[in-house]
Chain A
Amino acid sequence: MTYIPKPAVIHPGLQRNDIGLTRRDYEGSMTTLCAGCGHDSITAAIVQAFWEMSIPPHRVAKLSGIGCSSKTPAYFLKEAHGFNGVHGRMPALVTGANAANSELIYIGVSGDGDSLSIGLGQLSHAIRRNVNLLYVLENNGVYGLTKGQFSASADRGSLSKKGEANTMESIDGCLLALTLGATFVARSFSGDKAQLVPILKAGLAHSGFAFVDVISPRVTFNDHEGSTKSYAYTREHNVEIVQADFVPPAAAITATYDAGSARNVMMHDGSWVRLRKVAEDYDPSDRDRAYAYIRERQSHGEIVTGLLHISAESQDMHAQSDTVPSSLVDLPYEQLCPGNNELQKMQARFR
């Protein structure tokens, strides 16, 4: 059960981050997912990313919808407020929370059913609004909790455990996000922490909607031959195009990237993401080429991973609507109520 606490034993030798916290301080309760589930690897990567960035856990709000993936916010950052909402509707909750308090760091965790079927509309519009959050789609192509139905991300032709073929086209979250104008689009693989952690960090630093599709094989219902989301399939067909290294602003930027083979994009908080072009001529700032490249590799049965697109001109929801820099929840009531005198004055227009 999700409320089983982990024993609070802090080994004195555990490494501490800039605010003096260990990785343990970024963990949550014990997972209730199946042993070996890809989602648990993602949880570990999330813990690592927040720890490395020295984000105070209580300044984070973690939200999710319904499904196996949406249970995972219970397994990290126990000092952060969590909200396990209704199926497919996490984007609305996080949009409202972010509108109210822009000063928190938001992470939304969702699955392929939650994001690409029941919640496709909400995901799309949160992308359009460019709500400032890290959106992690834990993608396994299957409905786990209801025991094995295809989700909208299941590839056409893939076989279910009972041997039925999926006859419909799949929805690719990254292509969708690119089409809708997402300012940060990345894909990784739950089994590749070395790639995933820097991507998550870059997404957290991005000012706007950071969409991260993480292929997350599920041992129980979809990790078998015939599924394109199995460990074996993904490892074999994974093409890494851009490697993201996240460098905190305090580090010497010039020392950490090599000219010629790297490209730097400055994040809105002043930090930098270093992008290594693994594929020749790949430009993550070019939305159309990113789209074309993913499609092209798809036709060869390959999954492109890495930081696929980032827009340096990202304007998040608050920038677009020109709200005050402080959070709305902190505005004193006196600044919100015009008072009775003003009410009497304004009523001249109702006569």
Chain B
Amino acid sequence: MDRVNDFAFKIATANGTGSASANGLLMQAIFRMGVPVTGKNVFPSNIQGLPTWYEIRVNKDGYTARTPHFDLMVALNAATYDKDVAEVRSGGWLLFDSSWPLDDRLKRPDVTYLGVPLAEMCNASFKGVRERILMKNIAYVGALAALMNIDEDVIRELLTEKFGRKQALMDSNQTAVDLGYQYAARTFSCPLPIHLEPLDKTKDAILIDGNTASALGCLYAGATVAAWYPITPSTSLMDAFRGFCMKYRQDPETKKNRYAILQAEDELAAVGMVIGAGWAGARAFTSTSGPGISLMNEFIGLAYYGEVPAVIFDVQRAGPSTGMPTRTQQGDLMMAAYASHGDTRHICLYPADPREAFELAAKAFDYAERFQTPVFVLSDLDIGMNDWMVPKLRWDDSYTPDRGKVLTAAQLEQVKSFYRYLDVDGDGIPYRTLPGTHPKGAYFTRGSGHNKFGGYTEDAEEYVEVVDRIDRKIQRATKVLPAPVVRTAPGAKLAILTVGGCHAACGEALDQLAREGIALDYMRVRSFPFGDEVGKFIESHDLTFVVEQNRDAQLRNLLMLETGLSIDKMESVRYYGGFPMSAHHVISGIKARLDKAA
């Protein structure tokens, strides 16, 4: 079986031993050889000592979803030997540190062992405990390079780019690569059947994580105020934004900052600051995860009812409660859609990969200001923190921010009187003013009952008039929110409907099922509230498989609530164990239902 440029391997180490840079090096080297590649970092909620894994999938066809089947395991963590050896497919390989005898727990009759004396070689070549430990990682990169035919020159080029002027580091790393490479080359029959051949499929692509891409979206959209409280897996979004701001947001002459990043005392304050800044007229955002959204609920209701723009990034992780902070899930779909007490409904955007995270991050600010309301961007840990291969990002320089209906001083000078919540244009969107603009622009923002003039009210009709208009406003937003991505198969009576990061797994599953003669149409929703086309899509199929990553079928629940369609039209396919979804999960879920029906 041809396994060139189509295989997966996994590296098991302990957290804090420096394997992350070695694994990144492997990913990048494969990418630079022009071969599509994805990496999934499976890490613990811990700083040092707990098990950590890195999974690399090489796929010439560009399938980027996680695969749970590994051809080769690099087993360097004795604490997880049992589990790791079990994950190698029959007929696969296991690379271990042969400085010590092969552990009994690693023995399996159908696996080929590749013993490389990593510790022994590094102890002989390097001085000091730290360097010896770190270089073991680089040595396995060298061994894998020989075994998988990874271009040595590419590795050298990457090391040069990384260490450039730090000659000592460069030398150590190159020595470690060579140690592993030469040992493997002279000991084993290289390359293995699973190996790389150069391709030309990555030249217009980048390797980027969704949090970095989202931060770029915020930078390009012109966000100036960001407030946050550190939480996995969203922290790297704000870290990246800070990095970009330091580079691109300093006044060239005075070196003063054209941004404000506020590390708040908690998520309640973080979203409060964003709402305060949005009210004052800045493009402002916060980045958080599920527990943060739980805390923000009260303020989110204020922004919805007081009609204040705010952008909230929810990089979802496995809940409930603290849950599994370093595992992925789509567990906040329901909470975000109706966050806060009372009747609320929020615009949500669902990127499927880092490129879309970039684009939707930027759009989120337009929607927040145009509709004067909080907008959620829901990604997840897999999109946010893992490196994905995506087409290069582009920015349309003709873009101008949609600041919505904001009256200027000159416009206020013209009007007889200004009332904040009047539906002047009949589109449900009132005019707003920014503090400090003009004496005629003053109004009172409040979360308490108010009438269309902005005055306090407890009058039934006045209250209903305003909340009904807000409902219309949000519903009408569906006309401009990002439309679903649709793919059709001739004559299909069945369909898949999914959201966010399940896209990669669903795309692969569709292809595989088509090869097996099962034709399915496909829709991936990209925004909430859903447009009319979503209900029509479900209605037009005998059965729609709703694929998502949470226990309670939250997307299906939203679809039922929002379209009024029966549960009989939608079969739920779920995986929520904390790993990214695989095509395997989608296919087995669909087949289980089809087999039952047959």
Which A residues fall within an 8 A CB radius of B? Answer: 1-3, 56-59, 61, 63, 73-74, 78-86, 89, 91-101, 103-104, 121-122, 124-125, 129, 318, 321-325, 328-329, 331, 333, 335-340, 342-344, 347, 350-351
Interface flag for B538 (CB, 8 Å): no
Contact B442 A82 (CB under 8 A): yes
Q: List 29 A-B contacts (CB under 8 A).
A: A81-B279, A82-B442, A85-B302, A86-B299, A93-B272, A93-B275, A96-B274, A96-B279, A97-B279, A101-B280, A104-B280, A122-B265, A122-B272, A124-B265, A318-B260, A322-B257, A323-B258, A323-B260, A324-B251, A329-B224, A336-B222, A336-B258, A343-B216, A350-B206, A350-B208, A351-B28, A351-B32, A351-B206, A351-B207
11 other A-B residue contacts (CB within 8 Å) besides A3-B457, A92-B275: A81-B441, A83-B276, A83-B446, A84-B444, A84-B445, A101-B281, A122-B269, A322-B257, A324-B258, A333-B401, A351-B207
B455 adjacent to A81 (CB under 8 Å): no
Question: B216, B272, B394, B446: which contacts A92 (Cβ < 8 A)?
Answer: B272
- Taking a contact as CB atoms under 8 Å apart, the answer to whether B453 and A3 are in contact is yes
Cα distance, A329 to B259, chains bound together (Å): 10
Which are the 7 A-B pairs with shortest beta-carbon distances?
A: A92-B272, A96-B276, A3-B455, A96-B273, A100-B282, A81-B435, A93-B276
Give min CB distance, B274 to chain A, whole Å.
Answer: 6
**B435 engages A101 (CB within 8 Å):** yes
- The answer to whether B220 and A89 have CB atoms under 8 Å apart is no
Give B442's nearest chain A residue, CB to CB: A79
A92 near B269 (CB under 8 angstroms)? yes
Contact indicator per residue, chain B 137-158, by CB within 8 Å of chain A (1) or not (0): 0000000000000000000000
Residues of B contacting A2 with CB < 8 Å?
444, 455-456
Query: What string of 1s and 0s marks CB contacts (under 8 Å) between B7-44 and chain A?
Result: 00000000000000000000010011000000000000
In the complex with contacts A1-B456, A121-B266, A328-B225, A97-B435 CB distance below 8 A: yes
B587 within 8 A of A: no
B448 partner residues in chain A, CB cutoff 8 A: 84
B106 sits at the interface (CB 8 A): no
Query: B272 → chain A, closest Cβ, in Å?
Result: 3
Known: A85-B302, A96-B274, A328-B225. A80 touches B442 (CB 8 A): yes
A91: B residues at CB distance < 8 A? 269, 272
Structural contact, B453 and A323, CB atoms closer than 8 A: no
Given A81, A82, A321, which contacts B436 in the complex, CB threshold below 8 Å? Answer: A81
Closest to B395 in A: A340
Interface flag for B100 (CB, 8 Å): no
Nearest CB of chain B from residue A4's CB, rounded to whole Å: 9
Report the nearest A residue to B209, measured CB to CB.
Answer: A350
- Give B contacts to A, CB under 8 Å: 28, 31-32, 206-208, 212, 216, 219-222, 224-225, 227, 248-249, 251, 254, 256-262, 264-266, 268-282, 284, 298-299, 302, 306, 392-397, 399-401, 433-439, 441-448, 453, 455-457
Give Cα A143 to B436, complex, Å.
Answer: 33
Q: In the assembled complex, which residues on chain B have CB atoms less than 8 Å from the CB atom of A343?
A: 216, 220, 393-395
Q: What residues on A are CB-neighbors of B266 within 8 Å?
A: 121
Check B220 against A338 for contact (C-beta < 8 Å).
yes
Shortest Cβ distance from residue B262 to the other chain A in the assembled complex, whole angstroms: 6
Q: Output the nearest chain B residue to A99 by Cβ-Cβ distance.
A: B260
Instruction: List the B side residues contacting A100 at CB < 8 Å.
Output: 224-225, 260, 276-278, 280-282, 284
Residue on B nearest A4 in the bound complex, by CB: B455
The answer to whether B434 touches A329, judged by C-beta atoms less than 8 angstroms apart, is: yes
Are A58 and B224 in contact (CB-based, < 8 A)?
no
Neighbouring B residues of A74 by C-beta, 8 Å: 444, 456
B393: contacting residue among A96, A318, A347, CB under 8 A = A347
Name the residue on A nearest B396 (C-beta).
A340
Task: Provide the bound-state CA to CA distance between A121 and B222, in Å.
Answer: 30
Taking the closest CB of chain A, its distance from the CB of B407, in whole angstroms, is 13
| Chain A: minimal CB distance from B213 (Å) | 9
Assess the A328–B258 pair: CB atoms within 8 A.
yes
Partner pick for B272 among A58, A82, A96, A104, CB 8 A cutoff: A96
- Chain B neighbourhood of A337, CB < 8 A: 219-222, 395, 399
**Complex Cα spacing A94 to B272, Å:** 9
A257 CB to nearest B CB, Å: 34
For the complex formed, measure the closest distance between the CB of B160 and the CB atoms of chain A, giving whole angstroms.
14
Interfacial chain A residues near B439, Cβ < 8 Å: 56-58, 79
* Inter-subunit contact B257/A323 (CB<8 Å): yes
Is the pair B272, A328 in contact by a Cβ cutoff of 8 Å? no
Determine how close the nearest CB of chain B comes to the CB of A87; give it in whole angstroms: 8
Contact A96 B275 (CB under 8 A): yes
CB distance from B409 to the nearest CB of A (A): 10
Measured between beta carbons, the chain B residues less than 8 angstroms from A340 are 394-397
Determine the chain B residues whose CB is within 8 A of the CB of A350 once the complex forms. 206-208, 212
List B contacts of A83 (CB < 8 A): 276, 279, 306, 444-446
Say whether, besides A3-B456, A84-B446, A331-B224, A94 and B258 are in contact (CB < 8 Å). Answer: no
Question: With the chains together, A3 CA to B419 CA distance in Å?
Answer: 12
**What residue of chain B has the Cβ atom nearest to residue A351's Cβ?**
B206
Residues of B within 8 A of A344 (CB): 392, 394
Q: Are B456 and A339 in contact (CB under 8 A)?
A: no
Cα–Cα, bound, A94→B275 (Å): 9
- Pair A95/B395 contact, Cβ less than 8 Å: no
Cα separation A38 to B393 with both chains bound (whole Å): 60
- State whether B280 touches A97 (Cβ < 8 A): yes
**Distance A30 CA – B206 CA, assembled complex (angstroms):** 62
A328 to B265: give the CA distance in the assembly, Å.
22
Q: Within the assembled complex, what's the spacing in Å between the Cα atoms of A61 and B439?
A: 12
| Contact B276 A335, beta carbon cutoff 8 Å | no
Which residues does chain B contribute within 8 Å of A347, judged by CB atoms? 206, 392-393
- CB contact under 8 A between A94 and B456, given known A344-B392, A351-B32: no
In the complex, the answer to whether B443 meets A321 with C-beta atoms within 8 Å is no
Chain A proximity of B319: nearest CB distance (Å): 24
B227 partner residues in chain A, CB cutoff 8 A: 92, 95-96, 99
Write the nearest CB–CB distance from A47 to chain B, whole angstroms: 15
A101: chain B residues at CB < 8 Å are 280-282, 434-436
